[in-house]
Amino acid sequence: METKTKWFFTLLTLIALAVLGFFMPSTPFGEIQGVNPGDLAWMLTSTALVLLMTPGLSFFYGGMVNPKNIISTILQSFVAMGIVSLLWVLVGFSLAFGDSIGGAHTGLIGNPATFFMLNNVTAGINKDLAPTIPLALFAIFQMKFAIITPALITGSFAGRVRFRAYILFIILFVLFVYTPIAHQTWHPNGLLRNMGVLDFAGGTVVHMTAGFAALAGAIFLGKRNDYDLPERRANIPFVLLGAGLLWFGWFGFNAGSALAANAQAIAAFLNTNTAAAAAMLAYIFTDGAKGQKPSGIGAAVGLVVGLVAITPSAGYVTVGESILIGVIAGIVCNFAVSFRTKTSIDDTLDVFPAHGMGGVVGMILTGVFAKDVGLTSGNLKTFVVHMVALVVVATYSFGMSYLLYWLTNKIVPMRVSTHSEEVGLDLSQHHETYGFAYKD
């Protein structure tokens, strides 16, 4: 009965939001002057590609967990599309890309009133944010980045988190971790951006924040009860399918971040594919050099690591440099995964070694290779700034996320009961099962 009451009040909150939306003034869509039709078509396509990444992630993660948790793991990614979409419309876009609170000189976080409920977003173009496409399209494109970031975190605590607590956590994460880092990195007045930090498509904003939040979550929630037992994978073909969908969608993620159908988008597209290929091979060849057999899991994780590492520099490096970035990331993250298994940290699907470390590698190498401003161009400043920003973002993402886990846990206990964990979250949290997963 208590749970029914809590869900009832959650439903009332959603209804209140719907009523608020009905009474909010809005600007109707119409013909917008100054739009480039080619850029418009490419960005519509890119936005759809980026959304596809989240279902891809759900298969990627779902295939790697114990069969008794496959539905819950997939659902955690799917529900992020619903929660974050509405949160982004309400206040998320405004916090990330609205006018800086305290004036342009601060650059810490956006004013929630600037684009509250996307007010004034449909009116036209914002030359500072996206000069050749409607601001509404830019807002939707950025929404997809905000959706996948908390979904990435779910792999770290798969198999032991309460669904209601997860929903509350991702709301807090988007408000207090994702949007401030997005504003600081991507807004024209952003603090990190004005320092000289380069993040073409989200290596810092998406993957480092998610990676360090995942590490905090794995530590906070502790080990699974069956952590020391042999791992049971639900469906390796799901993993490969998910990785393929991620690879496909990542072209919108990276090449779309040029915000135009131009030469930089082509470079980002080429570099994205090349780095993914190089990292996949480096990862499985490293496994072989360590005496392990090349595996489907290794190939899938390797290509994702390459996609992560090239993300911050995709539009700033040459194709040759993208090969090097992919190879370095594949080797580094392979050893990071191996090292994690020797610790007491139960990061279920190695989110931190893959996304956290992949983001770190990408951020460092962006400072090395970025055209005209990297170390290879004789410029030390960008590299130093990236090292400083790396420490700041890592510390903030980990520390604030840990605080949010603690706060969430005070409101809704985050970890399920021992019995619920033993029977699996599919059954205990959602009353569903995956095929004959429980029949030995």
- Label each residue of the chain as H, E or C: CHHHHHHHHHHHHHHHHHHHHHHCCCCCCCCCCCCCHHHHHHHHHHHHHHHHHHHHHHHHHHCCCCHHHHHHHHHHHHHHHHHHHHHHHHHHHHHHHCCECCCCCCCCCECCCCCHHHCCHHHCCECCCECCCCHHHHHHHHHHHHHHHHHHHHHHCCCCECHHHHHHHHHHHHHHHHHHHHHHHHCCCCHHHHHCCCCCCCHHHHHHHHHHHHHHHHHHHCCCCCCCCCCCCCCHHHHHHHHHHHHHHHHHHHHHHHCCCCHHHHHHHHHHHHHHHHHHHHHHHHHHHCCCCCCHHHHHHHHHHHHHHHHHHCCCCCHHHHHHHHHHHHHHHHHHHHHHHCCCCCCCCCHHHHHHHHHHHHHHHHHHHCCCCCHHHCCCHHHHHHHHHHHHHHHHHHHHHHHHHHHHHHHCCCECCHHHHHHCHHHHHHCCCCCCCCCC
Q: What is the pTM of this model?
A: 0.95
Task: Reply yes or no on whether the pLDDT at 123 is more than 80.
Answer: no
Rounded distance between C-alpha atoms, residue 13 and residue 30, angstroms = 32
| Average pLDDT value for residue range 48-52 | 98
Higher confidence at residue 21 or residue 251?
251
Q: What is the pLDDT of residue 439?
A: 45
Domain residue limits, the chain: 36-411
CATH H-level superfamily of 36-411: Ammonium transporter AmtB like domains (1.10.3430.10)
Alpha-carbon distances, residue 116 vs 142, 255, 300 (angstroms): 15, 28, 39
Q: What is the pLDDT of residue 260?
A: 97
Confidence of residue 27 (pLDDT cuts 50, 70, 90): low
Residue 415's DSSP bridge partners are: 161
* pLDDT tens track for 180-239: 999 999 999 999 999 999 999 999 999 999 999 999 999 999 999 988 877 778 899 999
* pLDDT tens track for 313-328: 999 999 999 999 999 9
Task: Reply yes or no on whether the pLDDT at 269 is more than 70.
Answer: yes
Lowest mean pLDDT among 27-41, 98-112, 338-352: 27-41
Higher confidence at residue 401 or residue 438?
401
Closest to 154 (Cα-Cα) out of 140, 128, 173, 138: 173
With beta carbons less than 8 A apart as the criterion, state whether 404 and 169 touch.
yes
Task: Reply yes or no on whether the pLDDT at 10 is more than 90.
Answer: no
Lowest mean pLDDT among 16-25, 123-132, 292-301: 16-25
Rounded distance between C-alpha atoms, residue 329 and residue 307, angstroms = 9
Confidence of residue 440 (pLDDT cuts 50, 70, 90): very low
How high does pLDDT run on average in the chain?
Answer: 94
- Class of residue 341 by CB neighbours under 10 A (exposed 0-12, middle 13-18, buried 19+): exposed
Rounded distance between C-alpha atoms, residue 359 and residue 310, angstroms = 9
Q: What is the pLDDT of residue 437?
A: 45
With beta carbons less than 8 A apart as the criterion, state whether 75 and 166 touch.
no
With beta carbons less than 8 A apart as the criterion, state whether 131 and 125 touch.
yes
Q: What is the pLDDT of residue 226?
A: 86
Q: What is the pLDDT of residue 434?
A: 81
- Class of residue 102 by CB neighbours under 10 A (exposed 0-12, middle 13-18, buried 19+): exposed
